[in-house]
Structure 1
Amino acid sequence: MRCLFPTLFLVLLTSQPILSYNYLVFCPLFAHSHHKFLAKIADTLTLAGHNVTFLVPVIVREYENIKYLEHTTDVVYIQPDEELEKIGEDADYSMFWKADFGIFSFVPAVQRFNKMFEQFSDNLRKDLSVLDKLKDRKFDAMIFEALAFCAHQNRVNFSQFPAIHDYLGIKAIFPSWSMTHMTELSKSIGEPASPSFVPTTVSPFGDQMTFQERLLNTIGDLSGFLLAPPAMRSYKYPHQVLDIEEIKSKAPFVFVNSNPFLDFPRPTLSKTIAIGGISVNVTQMREEKLSEEFDDILKKREKSVLISFGSILRSSEMPDEYKYTIVRVIKSLPDVTFIWKYETKDIKFAKNLPNLHFSKWVPQTALLADSRLTAFITHAGLGSVNELSYLGKPAILIPIFADQFRNAMMLARHNGSITLVRKDLGDFEKLKKSVDAILNDESYQINAKTLSHQLESQPFSPHDLLVKYAEYGARFGEIPSLDPYHRKMSFVSFFMIDIILFLSVILIGFVALLVFVVRLILRTILIRKLKIN
């Protein structure tokens, strides 16, 4: 016992005190992937020993009963009024099964997001009781998705929409993004985001672009100015307009769902923290047990393929032509088992196919982690791309809309996938050839496994990066030394147009003087020759 007390005293003396911070994670419930990303951030901070409040304005009730949180228990729901609920229900993404997605095709969706958050802010302004109850929790930091401008935003003109972090007196904010890259967020913190080699969020191009593609990517990059959200006013008297650019620029760090070992390489600032893959827990996925139903399905044949187009784009809403083509391909491969996530019971188009199994819900991560699943046919949603990348599954990617095109191009660089366009679902020969290749060409399997090993072996895990930087930001708040001065430079100064013009004038003057001197010398020599003659 005598030896024990000095040891305990030494441990207490040398140990560092563990600080627990109070975080508010603001997560409007309107889409599965966005909610899952923020829920994982909340759970990660909770597991690290911090106090996390998950503020959830319900917009789309479809997702209200889905369990996204596993460890965070302090959840505050804000129920919608009829108008807000209607805005959430009016979203119709089935149109993208029939119409080609272009850079400007997503404009109506962005406008709907603006209207949605505008309505929520208006509702909140009328009843501040929820926020008043949160004031006592004295939050050290707030994490939110940059898309949800009601958390922090303003723009140019005056409006009546307030900012939550300002009302609660939260000094440190962490804008985040559930996709790989947001040009507007990069620009607000002064991060280079040249459209010449950095694809925008919804760009269908990679980092190697032709002139026409760079032109379209640039136009898409500039379109952000046309879709600016409304101004935001403080809830507190005198209700001044909040400057969005200054607010976001003062964020200690921003969290983006990008992984440098998977995404396109691009220049970033020290305050941009890439936590791509934070929603993927490889160890947990490999420990998941399949139900007896799915286990029996995978036992039937040597090779198996999972087909899923996510939660927003429903397979049941795709054109019949695509369904029939997929069924023809499946019929032509009787030795391969296909599991198709299909949302309705209307499956008359695929009767009596012993190697095809429909299911309204599939345990996607458990299936991807199972060695008996050979390949994945998917829409290239970022969640699915991260999961199949970490688990080393070759895939056929068929992007339909939004960031899915960028995700498909991003993964294609690693040579473990095949990318098709939406219309290829109606081309039997092309679809059959792609499925044959992904099943039988070993190079796809090898390259997918290589990427998986690289992601698992990365020096710092996304979880560690999130916790360390979130703690650092909550402790010190704004870090002016990380704010680049070039953010305040004019267009002329930043691109050195004045320097180029100045040096050009000097060069032109020097060349002109040189020409004059040479001409003068030649003229003098010529005159002398004429005199001699």
Structure 2
Amino acid sequence: MYHAEWYLASLIIIFHASQNDSYKILVYNPRFGKSHTKFLGSIADTLVNAGHNVTEFAPVLFEFSDSTGSKLAKTVKIDADPEISKIMNVEIFAQDAWKRNQQSIFSLISVMKRMSDALLKNCEFQLKQEKIMQELKSEKFDLAIFEFNQCFAGIIELLRIPAHIVVSPTALFEYAIECFGIPNIPSYIPSLLTQYTDKMTYLQRLKNLIITILTTKLLDNHTIRCQALFRRLYGDQFIDLKEKLAQVTYVLTNTDPLFHISRPTIHKMLELGGLALPKPQPLSKEWIAVMNKRKAVVLVSFGTVTLSCWMPNETKQALLDAFDSFPNVTFIWKYEKDEHLIAEGRPNVITSKWLPQSDLLAHKNLIAFLTHGGMNSITETLNRGKPIVVVPLFGDQMQNAVLVQRLGLGIKLSLSELAIKEKIKNAIYNIIYDKSYAQKVERLSKMMAKKPNQAEEQLIKHVEFAAEFGQIANFDPYGRKMSFVSYYMLDIIIPFIILIFFIITIICYLIIRLFRKLFHKAVICNNNNSIITKVKKN
């Protein structure tokens, strides 16, 4: 009897202990892009599996991008505002990505301005859902997790959530880096939107500086507009949104130090590459048959936004003609419209609207991946140890493509080169037969697998720490509060240079005076000697 009572008491203690360690967490997962939705949904599911009470807040920004996020958390959804599609039609944006000048600064400005308008409209639409906001506030969450988002920073304040973490499926934009007080040095740290490495030419450094300043200014302007919206709705004393964003406990990015460029960091910044990496699952019989049809398989996919069916016809034809050059290789192409019959008459080309991408990448017969270079795709491919042919289209894909090439993990093609059969053919040939690519990727894959601290474990520990302790003052660098002049010590350097210049000027002046005096004395002496000589002669 005694043992039974002791056992029951132990169970009760364990139960209460587990309850005390469970936190209420709000994950902000707007339906913005499928890869972003998948990333945040995976984080929510990981935390649910760790025993936490997780709610996913899912306002739909674009109908096109509406997709499933968390499979385990409670989801609170807000349908899309139909007015947003009038500001920015994401389907047209995605279709234009196949034609857009990737390096055009004017194109970048246009896209960012339209995106700012759409996000601002969506923010006001969310804030008007007063019933949902009140329900979320009544939950009394311990912690909020979200991608860098000015609107949700204000919502956190409205919901009275005491702590928050920013996560990112990509490397951070320069504006976020500045906001958190992370040092950003454009001389060797390329902007996320460029195709530069850390070794830049003079002109590349100039362009990198311009793009860094430009994107920072555009995003700062968006923050100002969001700030005006909140103060219009909730009064002039509403908290500064940029300051609220800076008060995060942690910034967790889906980047990997083994892949990304080494850069200065701060205590609150953590790189957890592979954060949403799914474990390989067994393939269906149909897919196994496809994978075993030939000894070599190349996967082709350009993501869930820039669909292959929207490619220009000449690009599609160039790809198909290049595939014809490799009859012993099976090409599995994610192509979204079966009715196009794009692979008809080509036995080595298999098309499908949907692919179990991560599982296919794990198959032994898959030898390469032709991809747009989104961070999720890059992470999956590198962890599976497969070389890459990458064709960047927009956003962080530009930087990812350069990093792949920089480390010898694959080959980068430009969008214009994707319309040239010989360019595609040469890239595929080299990625298959030049074994250095496979060897380097395999080595990197092993390093990623053997990292001392795995991403999922680190996520759970840091989330629980943040939920318990909130903002950590020591994690907040004072540098972010300093003025430009003070931060770069211009108030010391400029006066010092002026002082040195003044001292040099004085010294030069004194030297000139001295030489003049000496010269004057020499002239007088010479004249006197001449007079004496003449007198003696006389």
TM-score normalised to the size of structure 2? 0.88
Q: Residue 440 of structure 1 corresponds to which residue in structure 2?
A: 433
Does 1:370 pair with 2:367? no
Verify: 1:415 aligned to 2:408, yes or no: yes
The residue number in structure 2 matching 1:261 is 258
Partner of 1:158: none
Question: 1:155 — aligned with what?
Answer: none
Q: CA deviation at 1:399?
A: 0.7
Q: What per-residue deviation string (whole Å, max 9, x for no partner) do you get for residues 149-205 of structure 1?
A: 2211xxxxxxxxxx3111111121223322212211111121111222222222222
Q: What's the offset of the Cα at 1:306?
A: 0.7
Does the alignment pair 1:475 with 2:468? yes
**SS of 1:105 mapped into structure 2:** helix
The Cα offsets for residues 3-26 of structure 1, whole Å up to 9 and x where unpaired, read as 99999999989x987622111111
Structure 2 counterpart of 1:38, one-letter code? L
- How far is 1:381 from its partner? 0.9
Q: 1:321 to 1:124 in 2, by over 3 A?
A: closer
The secondary structure found in structure 1 opposite 2:113 is: helix
What is the RMSD of the two structures over their aligned residues, measured on CA atoms?
Answer: 2.9
Q: In 2, distance between residues paired with 1:454 and 1:240?
A: 50
Distance in 2, Cα, partners of 1:253 & 1:349? 47
Q: Partner of 2:83 in structure 1?
A: 83
Task: Out of 306-315 and 18-27, give the one that drifted further.
Answer: 18-27
Match of 2:352 in 1: 359
Distance 2:46 2:231 in 1: 31
* Superposition deviation, residue 294 in structure 1: 1.7
1:207 maps to amino acid: D
Q: Distance in 2 between matches of 1:198 and 1:358?
A: 39
- Do the aligned partners of 1:181 and 1:258 also contact (CA within 8 Å) in 2? no
Q: Which residue of 1 aligns with 2:158?
A: 167
| Alpha carbons of structure 1 residues 509 and 279: separation in structure 2 relative to 1, 3 Å | same
CA contact (8 A) 1:380 1:408 kept: yes
1-structure distance, mates of 2:90, 2:499: 61
| 1:113-124 equivalences in 2 (<5 Å) | 113-124=115-126
Residue from 257, 276, 280 that aligns with 1:279? 276
Match of 1:328 among 299, 310, 321: 321
Q: Quick one: structure 1 residues 508 and 111, their matched pair in 2 at CA, closer, same or farther if it must change by over 3 Å?
A: closer
Q: Quickly say closer, same or farther: Cα 1:505–1:234, change in 2 above 3 A.
A: closer
Question: 2:150–2:242: 8 Å Cα contact kept in structure 1?
Answer: no
For 2:487, the equivalent position in structure 1 comes to 494
The range that moved more, 367-376 or 30-39, is 30-39
**1:110 corresponding residue in structure 2:** 112
1:345 correspondence with 2:341: no
Matched residue of 1:409: which SS?
helix
Alignment of 1:2-401 (within 5 A): 19-64=21-66, 66-72=67-73, 74-84=74-84, 89-92=89-92, 93-102=94-103, 103-146=105-148, 148-152=149-153, 163-223=154-214, 224-227=216-219, 228-229=221-222, 230-232=225-227, 233=230, 238=235, 240-281=237-278, 284-285=279-280, 288-348=281-341, 350-401=343-394
Mapped partners of 1:16, 1:22: distance in 2: 15
Give the Cα separation in 2 of the matches to 1:373 and 1:243: 51
**Does the 8 Å contact 2:408/2:437 carry over to 1?**
yes
Give the Cα–Cα distance (whole angstroms) in 2 for the partners of residues 108 and 100 of structure 1: 12
Structure 1 residue ranges without an equivalent (≥5) = 153-162
The aligned residue for residue 532 of structure 2 is none
**Cα–Cα, structure 1 residues 330 and 236, in superposed 2: closer, same or farther, change >3 Å?**
closer
What CA deviation, in whole Å up to 9, does each residue of 1:333-392 have, x standing for no partner?
111111111111244554311111111111111110011101110111111011101111
Against the structure 1 CA distance between its residues 10 and 290, is the aligned structure 2 distance closer, same or farther, given a 3 Å change threshold? Answer: closer
User: Cα distance, 1:514 vs. partner?
Assistant: 4.2
Counterpart contact for 1:256–1:276, Cα < 8 Å: yes
Matched length = 515
Greater displacement, 375-384 / 490-499: 490-499
* Cα 1:409/1:10, change in 2 over 3 Å: same
Whether the aligned pair in 2 keeps the contact of 1:179 and 1:201 (CA below 8 Å) is no
- For 1:28 and 1:235, the matched residues in 2 are separated by 23
Closer, same or farther: CA 100–165 of 1 in aligned 2, 3 Å: same
Report the CA distance shift for 1:304/1:49 in structure 2 as closer, same or farther (over 3 A): same
Listed one character per residue, the Cα deviations across residues 58-93 of structure 1 (whole Å, up to 9, x for unaligned) are: 2333454x4432432x11112234324665755421
AA aligned opposite 1:96: A
Structure 2 Cα separation of the partners of residues 89 and 523 of structure 1: 78
> Secondary structure in 2 aligned to 1:98?
coil
Contact 1:97–1:318 (Cα < 8 Å) also in 2: yes
Matches of 2:275 and 2:69 in 1, distance apart? 14
Distance 1:122 1:509, change over 3 A: closer
C-alpha distance in structure 1 between counterparts of 2:258 and 2:462, whole Å? 20
1:160 matched residue in structure 2: none
**CA 1:118 to 1:509, structure 2 compared with 1: closer, same or farther past 3 Å?**
closer
Q: In the TM superposition, what whole-angstrom CA distance separates every residue of 1:259-317 from its partner, at most 9, and x where no partner exists?
A: 11111111111111222320114xx21xx111222211121212110111111111111
Aligned residue for 1:192, secondary structure, equals coil
**CA-to-aligned-CA distance 1:394-453 (integer Å, 9 cap, x gap):** 010011112111111122222110011011112222211111110111111100101111
Alpha-carbon offset, residue 522 of structure 1: 5.7
Q: TM-score, normalised by structure 1?
A: 0.89
Larger Rg: 2
SS at 2:83 equivalent? helix
Corresponding position: 1:507 with 2:490 = no
- Once residues 389 and 498 of structure 1 are traced to their aligned partners in structure 2, the CA distance between those partners, rounded to angstroms, is 46
Contact 1:178-1:257 within 8 A present in 2 as well: yes
SS at match of 2:146: strand
Distance 1:349 1:476, change over 3 A: closer
**2:473 is matched by which residue type in structure 1?**
P
Identity %: 33
* DSSP 3-state at the match of 1:231: helix
Secondary structure (helix, strand or coil) at the match of 1:29 reads coil
